[in-house]
Structure 1
């Protein structure tokens, strides 16, 4: 499971994380961002700046609670920047609050920093390295190992204060002790799990985790009983979380020779530094490097908003100034060596023909078409094309291209539709006039856009639509001046406060209906005449039949009487 997770339902096609990721270790697939773990340097910028809170961070709090619940001796190693991340009037109350959660005790990681600084000072004295890059920031270490491996031999071969402190605590309190680190850095989670020293720190939680845990247990720091820290730390070592803090601690140990001191913070500056070192621009420099701007006090999970970073820095500096003690003694011997290696991932780079083919798919046929606007998250269109080739990005991430495509499709539909389409604004000014309208009304689009709708037709329906803010469906409208009959639909679009009139020309259909009606009328008239004639004929026939029948009756009656009465007379 990765350290940074994703809430798929919240990831909404914004590409903000791609834009802010300093090494572009984010893959966009099906319009959603996914961390490429093998390339991620765990700076936490995407987690911190995601506008939809779609990024999540996996937490070890449950595992720590389980350790405490099973009765293990659990010690919290706390990064010095805690002073700027939590509110309290006495640091001992912070220790008391931590113990109230069930920890055996709490100790400042700055004691481990004392051993680290001593190692840095030894390297300076030995004067064997071309440059010395500090290795306290695991995110900066990942940057170099994964992206600038040629600089590995310039990294101080020394573990971080977190690892040094964990080793120190386990040596003092027993190797069965569980050491939990808490700080503002998510890269520490990966550092703790690194196979090179994965038996030293048993779990890593963030300041946010700790704040949530305290709230869950209803522990208010200022209301707790004060407690002592398990180990002392010198004031100068508490400066580690702020800019120049490592250099200040180094100078406190004495002579640093003719080494030039340089402090670099922020992902962009760190990348620029690495490029400068690769070019050979720097020589004989001791370089304090930190991926977070102004140091660890601005870690991505610092339990503070960005506006408080200045006050946080002041709190840390003031806290360091409270203790006037000397540089602490280092009574214990602990292993401090760290070996850094080339961890780079080789990516396939497309040739020029492939890049041009990919660019052509998004309408960039030549270099002049390459806007390099950065809306996709990549600095140039070519970088985006390379990312598409490496299956990290999608073609549809190009905003100008998608906008042009959408407009082109929209214009195509509007232009090619056989229906007359006219769009007017609330002042009845014509703002769109398609090809069918040009043909029907005999004026060009350019001319129509200079007119109001009432200059070419009765505008009462448009006015009514704006008044009631409703559409008017299917209404037959006859334009006498243009010898045209239409079926009109006026669509009111509230968001833009415009009305779109769509007219289907039904002139031919109406003529056909009229012709059919005329034919039916003529047919009915002819049928009626036939019926009338038939009725007259029938009446005449009936009359003739009536007379004949009467005469026949009289004759037959006479004949019958003659027969009957002839016998009687005899």
Structure 2
């Protein structure tokens, strides 16, 4: 099951997760960014950095609640970073809150850290050659096993404090279920690793606990303090901060001539792996944390990252309050662990294929490769390789899509015979097409430096911008240019601009004028005929004894019928 999920409706073409993912373990398909589980190192950076809240974490909370409802005896192993992530009057109130949720007991994972540190110290005293890199961070362990498998021999062959603590708890309390809680999502993968025989039955993040406490209306202020199951953890509570492991190791005793180094943050961890591959370090004991400044800055800590400074001080104070002495180790617990090459072999395109992919987005040579990083990849070539491996789409190239859109827009504007003018709320011209250039006799470049009222009557545009309502078909005459147009002004809400489209109807107006003139001439000719007929009619009427008035009425009706008939045509 995937640990990091996706809200598809929220994922909208920003590629932020691709940019921040240290190993580019993200596949963009149908404009949706999805995690590639087999190569993801579960550092949680995409969770923290996604601006659209499109990434989700699958939770074991429902399974844990079901354990409690079924009457299981469940112990919560809590990471020592809890003291930096929660505000409470005294640490025992955390245990009280967890018992209020139904847990049998609460124990600090730092108890397991005491055994892990002792094992590290033993390895140092044995004088192992080369380097020793800590293995408490499952995200870093995945980084090495998947991306730098040649370094697995430099990983200390020791389980993490979470696994060591679970073994201790199950040994001391037969039949219990152990649930780990902390700020790390990679612990979910570690708990499910078959190398650990399922010692940890479920993993909750601090964010899971926050939601659960809110739903159950449990707060630290209203619960009674409760004792933790384990004895004092002392200096081991320093584990969640940078150099915390080193501090506990030095407290354990003489570390010989080993050089001590602490590295935190995904970028620094990757740099460390490259330095180790290059053989630049020797006889170093190296503490590693994929999260910057240590576990207190975990992706599911449930607090703002800016509070990590205060959190570090809280952890250090908490460790000092209990004394800096190393706790006694009363039990035996298996601690050894093997690491393996879990690398994924990806097909790589040849140079001709890379160049063909780049050519599809207008990059016909190295000079066209901007390497702007807008797609999330550091170089255009890296992006082309990702396209070949079906992890990226051609349309992720923002400069290419911008040029393409502008090209389509320019073709549309330049190709249309209608004059198109766009203005902003200040009536400054922001677009001026080729048809407008021909009518006004100025270039687009010149027009973009002008206001609309410098070229024409802008009252209609002002009305549209003021009312934010488009204006329909209206006849507008440009006398100085000998042109009559059908004007339509569209208000574009998103851009806050008015777009005027002017269709040249000069020829149509001339044809209408010619028809009107022809009709007028026809009516005039009809009047002359009537006048002549009137004279003849009068003469005939006098001979026939008919009155002139009756004849005039009849002929006038005839004329009107002729005119009306012409109008209907």
Shift of 1:16: 1.4
- Kindly report which structure 2 residues correspond to 1:309-320, keeping only aligned pairs within 5 A, or say none: 309-320=308-319
Shift of 1:172: 1.4
* Alignment-derived partner of residue 107 in structure 1: 107
C-alpha contact (below 8 Å) 1:110/1:233 kept by paired residues: no
- Kindly report which structure 2 residues correspond to 1:54-453, keeping only aligned pairs within 5 A, or say none: 54-174=54-174, 176-324=175-323, 326-425=325-424, 428-449=427-448, 451-453=450-452
Q: In 2, Cα distance between the equivalents of 1:452 and 1:211? A: 57
Q: In 1, Cα distance between the equivalents of 2:152 and 2:273? A: 11
Deviates more, 1:523-532 or 1:390-399: 523-532
Q: In 2, Cα distance between the equivalents of 1:45 and 1:173? A: 37
Q: In 2, Cα distance between the equivalents of 1:469 and 1:70? A: 62
Q: In 2, Cα distance between the equivalents of 1:440 and 1:542? A: 63
Shift of 1:48: 1.8
SS at match of 2:180: strand
Equivalent residues, number: 546
Q: In 1, Cα distance between the equivalents of 2:459 and 2:222? A: 74
Distance 1:477-1:37 versus aligned 2 partners, 3 A rule? same
Give the alignment's Cα RMSD to 1 decimal.
2.7
Q: In 1, Cα distance between the equivalents of 2:464 and 2:228? A: 75
Shift of 1:169: 1.0
SS at match of 2:136: coil
C-alpha contact (below 8 Å) 2:349/2:388 kept by paired residues: yes
SS at match of 2:37: coil
Q: In 1, Cα distance between the equivalents of 2:336 and 2:449? A: 79
C-alpha contact (below 8 Å) 1:234/1:325 kept by paired residues: no
- Kindly report which structure 2 residues correspond to 1:529-544, keeping only aligned pairs within 5 A, or say none: none
Deviates more, 1:8-17 or 1:452-461: 452-461
Find out whether 1:511 has 2:510 as its counterpart: yes
Q: In 2, Cα distance between the equivalents of 1:449 and 1:223? A: 66
C-alpha contact (below 8 Å) 1:8/1:32 kept by paired residues: yes
Q: In 1, Cα distance between the equivalents of 2:481 and 2:339? A: 84
C-alpha contact (below 8 Å) 1:234/1:326 kept by paired residues: no
Shift of 1:61: 1.4
Q: In 1, Cα distance between the equivalents of 2:413 and 2:299? A: 49
Q: In 1, Cα distance between the equivalents of 2:139 and 2:426? A: 59
Distance 1:4-1:322 versus aligned 2 partners, 3 A rule? same
Question: Deviation per CA, 1:360-400, whole angstroms, max 9, x where unpaired?
Answer: 22222222222222221111121111111111111222222
Question: Deviation per CA, 1:29-55, whole angstroms, max 9, x where unpaired?
Answer: 121111110011111111122222211
* Alignment-derived partner of residue 8 in structure 2: 8
Q: In 1, Cα distance between the equivalents of 2:393 and 2:422? A: 35
Shift of 1:133: 0.8
Deviates more, 1:211-220 or 1:253-262: 211-220
Question: Deviation per CA, 1:235-271, whole angstroms, max 9, x where unpaired?
Answer: 1111111111111111122121111111000000000
Q: In 1, Cα distance between the equivalents of 2:452 and 2:233? A: 81
SS at match of 1:422: strand
Question: Deviation per CA, 1:138-169, whole angstroms, max 9, x where unpaired?
Answer: 00000000100000111111111111111111
Q: In 1, Cα distance between the equivalents of 2:164 and 2:302? A: 25
Deviates more, 1:19-28 or 1:493-502: 493-502
Q: In 2, Cα distance between the equivalents of 1:198 and 1:529? A: 115
Question: Deviation per CA, 1:460-499, whole angstroms, max 9, x where unpaired?
Answer: 4344445555443222122233222211223344665544
Q: In 2, Cα distance between the equivalents of 1:431 and 1:325? A: 69
Q: In 2, Cα distance between the equivalents of 1:412 and 1:115? A: 71
Distance 1:448-1:297 versus aligned 2 partners, 3 A rule? closer
C-alpha contact (below 8 Å) 1:140/1:291 kept by paired residues: yes
Deviates more, 1:302-311 or 1:434-443: 434-443
Shift of 1:537: 10
Q: In 2, Cα distance between the equivalents of 1:451 and 1:319? A: 67
Q: In 1, Cα distance between the equivalents of 2:491 and 2:216? A: 56
Distance 1:512-1:294 versus aligned 2 partners, 3 A rule? same
Which protein is bigger by CA-based radius of gyration? 1
Shift of 1:449: 4.4
Find out whether 1:32 has 2:32 as its counterpart: yes
Distance 1:537-1:139 versus aligned 2 partners, 3 A rule? same
Question: Deviation per CA, 1:31-85, whole angstroms, max 9, x where unpaired?
Answer: 1111110011111111122222211111111211221222222111111111111
TM-score (norm 2): 0.89
Task: Extract unaligned runs of 5+ from structure 2.
Answer: 546-569
SS at match of 1:221: coil
SS at match of 1:209: helix
Distance 1:535-1:364 versus aligned 2 partners, 3 A rule? same
Q: In 2, Cα distance between the equivalents of 1:90 and 1:125? A: 38
